[in-house]
Amino acid sequence: MSMALKQVFNKDRTFRPKRKFEPGTQRFELHKKAQASLNAGLDLKQAVALPHGEDLNDWVAVHVVDFFNRINLIYGTISDSCTDQTCPVMSGGPKYEYRWQDEHKYKKPMAVPAPKYMSLLMDWIEVQINNEHIFPTNVGTPFPKTFMQVAKKILSRLFRVFVHVYIHHFDCVSQMGAEAHVNTCYKHFYYFVTEFNLTDHKELEPLKEMTTRMCH
């Protein structure tokens, strides 16, 4: 990564603190394996494939945390230009509006400004990935039956961050010279969720044309 990009993607700008993997754990080893294949310049389509002999739940868990960290960083870089005034609703252009819903305060889908949506989303994801009953960190502790369902929900909602950034803040990304980094992260995410069918095709619709140009 160039020095300019390092300054753009510095950890002070991260929207949320990074979630780390405990050294010595199987998840940490898988994380290193995933990073190594990316750093080796492997084709992103190949890089997302499940390594031989590895458990799919573990592989998905590692990537959910990784994408959470990276997308946090991407949103953190444009968060100054994403305000209640510039983005009074969380949207992806005029056709797509995202309403927030959770198990606690927002029982019904609620329209909220984009920064509020991002904040609620990142808080909600942090609760999920820090919950040992959903994302167990000890080897031998089984994943719950609902794990894939939760992972799909997290990834679908993270995709909306890409939608908002690309459609409403890409000029900001370009001005920072961070275009290539964001595009690579997007392609990696897209190949991963489509490889394992982790996001509904309806969710992918807002960036369909761009994805066709970039990923096919």
DSSP class of 97? B
* Residue 168 · residue 113 · CB < 8 Å: no
* Residue 16 · residue 120 · CB < 8 Å: no
Q: Which domains does the chain have, with CATH numbers?
A: 3-215 (1.20.140.30)
Would the annotation count 169 as a binding residue?
Answer: yes
How far apart are alpha carbons 124 and 210 in whole angstroms?
Answer: 28
How far apart are alpha carbons 9 and 1 in whole angstroms?
Answer: 10
Nearest to 61 by CA among 194, 152, 163, 188: 152
β-bridge mates for residue 91, sequence order: 97
How far apart are alpha carbons 203 and 208 in whole angstroms?
Answer: 10
* Residue 15 · residue 79 · CB < 8 Å: yes
Structure tokens at 23: 């050294």
Would the annotation count 172 as a binding residue?
Answer: no
DSSP class of 102? -
DSSP string covering 159-191: HHHHHHHHHHSHHHHHHTT-HHHHHHHHHHHHH
Would the annotation count 164 as a binding residue?
Answer: yes
In order along its 216 residues, the chain shows pLDDT tens digits of 444 444 444 444 444 555 555 655 556 666 666 666 555 556 888 889 998 888 899 999 989 999 998 999 899 989 999 999 999 999 999 999 999 999 889 999 999 999 999 999 999 999 999 999 999 887 678 999 999 999 999 999 999 999 999 999 999 999 988 898 899 999 999 999 999 999 999 999 999 999 999 987
Nearest to 98 by CA among 120, 67, 68: 120
The string of pLDDT tens digits covering residues 153-191 is 999 999 999 999 999 999 999 998 889 889 999 999 999
